[in-house]
Amino acid sequence: MRVLITGGAGFIGSHLCERFLQEGHDVIAMDNLLTGNAENIAHLFGNDHFRFVKHDVTHYIYVAGPIDAILHFASPASPIDYLELPIQTLKVNALGTHNALGLAMEKGARFLLASTSEVYGDPLIHPQPESYWGNVNPVGPRGVYDEAKRFAEAITMAYHRSHGLETRIVRIFNTYGPRMRLADGRVVPNFIQQALRHEPLTVYGDGGQTRSFQYVSDLVEGLYKLLHSDEVDPVNIGNPREFTIRQFAELVNEVTNNPAGITIKPDLRITDDPQTRQPDITRACSILGWEPAVEIEDGIRLTVPYFREQLRRLGQLPPDRHST
């Protein structure tokens, strides 16, 4: 196949580029580098089957030649990004999705939308099945991401129903791994870099809010299976193993041998921060034959060297860690 991956220089997008190249496909990565990083795909530049196009998908998308599949991953994806870039977040998930769908129509390409567990908001049902419609504050600060993704799902289904376009929708739950940004703002990079600096891990609120974390290779496997399936309705892809944030902090400290412990900041709470997050992956298991394979302890061990190298480059490691 010849595949276009928007957001291809991002954390997940770059891993997708690698997977499709490994499967023998031609890959076009498109990214405006607002939150993506060309370093994530620099090792692919010498591959004759790979091409990078710097472009903002909120503007008309032109790609010469055939395209068999479009995976739309262009969007800020962490709270720190979409709180600082609210208009851009709304535009890329509205105008960008519209443009990408239009290109899929022109090329007769299968279209896969990267949606998110954030469409469930602060859920009142636990765990969250795809049939749950969510509990989202549309005018809160996180609404620019939550509602943008809900709109993206709606327009994707409209193109499927009105134009017969082959579409797929994945709802991605918390994913971690190499190539996450140090300043991403999400809990995994925050905790790992604090641990590697021998600092106490900062837990906001009471630490009782829960998350479920999947390693990026598990996500990519699920995405690849979904694209090649016949499933049109949204599918959760995530790891159902649930942790409180406090438990997760303790795990990161254990894996990294960080002696500094944890600091609880009960008065610092994030507005509209979901109190629970756990995927019901029954449909992914039955329809795709998929389930996560990487245990959280192993995934953290695989992720730590990447963050250690990034901190080393910035000179931000304690002296005894420079020789590690």
Active site residues: 145
Closest Cα partner for 268 from 314, 202, 186, 200?
A: 202
Q: What secondary structure does DSSP assign to 185-251, as a single string?
A: -SHHHHHHHHHHTTPPEEEETTS--EEE-EEHHHHHHHHHHHHTS---S-EEES---EEEHHHHHHH
Name the maximum alpha-carbon separation found in the chain. Answer: 61
∠ CA 116-134-286, rounded to 5°: 60
Closest Cα partner for 200 from 269, 256, 147, 157?
A: 256
CB atoms inside a 10 Å sphere around CB 275: 11
Does residue 281 contact residue 238 with C-beta atoms inside 8 Å? Answer: yes
- In angstroms, the Cα distances linking 3 to 92, 203, 292 are 19, 40, 25
What is the SS3 assignment for 276? coil
Q: Residue 122 is encoded by which pair of tokens?
A: 């602060």
∠ CA 32-37-40, rounded to 5°: 130
What is the SS3 assignment for 291? coil
